[in-house]
Amino acid sequence: RMDNKLKFDFRDLAKFITKIENDRLGAEDILKDIYKENSETVVIGITGPPGAGKSSLTDRMIKEYRELGKTVGIVAVDPSSPFTGGAILGDRIRMGDHATDPGVFIRSMGSRGSLGGLAPATIDVINLMKSAGFDVLIVETVGVGQSEIDVMSIADTVLLVLVPGMGDDVQALKAGIMEIADIFVINKADKDGVERLVAEINMIINLNRHRLEWEPPVVKTIATENSGTKELMKKIS
């Protein structure tokens, strides 16, 4: 059963993605055949260090979008998992509520499959899912390497999820990823150190203010308790 707006069913979509991951050259032919320019799909990137609670946050956002009747595709990129070929277990368990929802498609991608590097394969998969006609695409990556920044460059809105108590990690993060963050999300905002983290982020925003077309808001959330989600959705829209 499918939402009528989507162009092909999830089983076909999964097969196409596997093809893209495993056969970079052959993938171009698939994409040529079915690629359809689609500016309707909203692409949201979610990045940040491991343990920041990105999957729990994604889970809340899926629920919000589904309540609005929107179809959602999720690409969870996990370059750190050579054995399973992706973050299948973690993400699937955390987002398990959506497994039987005909309007939600979740795919984990590991760098194992994509011979041409993770970023190009992910970008192809995002283009494929845009062609399929999802209303919203959420791309979740771990870490702050160049390939994540490449992937995030095609998102309309990038959320950088941080948690209090990371010490000097914010300073270390600020180089590349701070530049592409449209919204700073401080998750687990009930932990100690939240005000210090807000102050650090605001300092970085102030230092870069002269170069910013958009001043990133800072939103506090506790994803596990669904606190701050509505505010975050407002900022995204």
In this prediction, residues 183-195 reach a mean pLDDT of 94
41-63 pLDDT tens trace? 999 999 888 788 998 999 999 99
Kindly state the tokens that stand for 54: 């990105």
CB 130 within 8 Å of CB 38 = yes
**pLDDT on residue 88:** 46
Strands 183-186 and 104-110: unpaired
Sheet holding 183-186, edge to edge: 104-110, 72-78, 136-141, 42-47, 157-162, 183-186, 218-220
Q: Could you tell me the pTM of the whole model?
A: 0.86
In this prediction, residues 157-185 reach a mean pLDDT of 78
10-31 pLDDT tens trace? 898 898 888 888 877 777 787 7
**pLDDT on residue 176:** 65
Whole-number Cα distances in Å, 67 to 31, 64, 149, 178:
31, 5, 30, 31
For residue 146, is pLDDT > 70?
no
CB contact set of 32 (below 8 Å; sequence gap of 6+): none
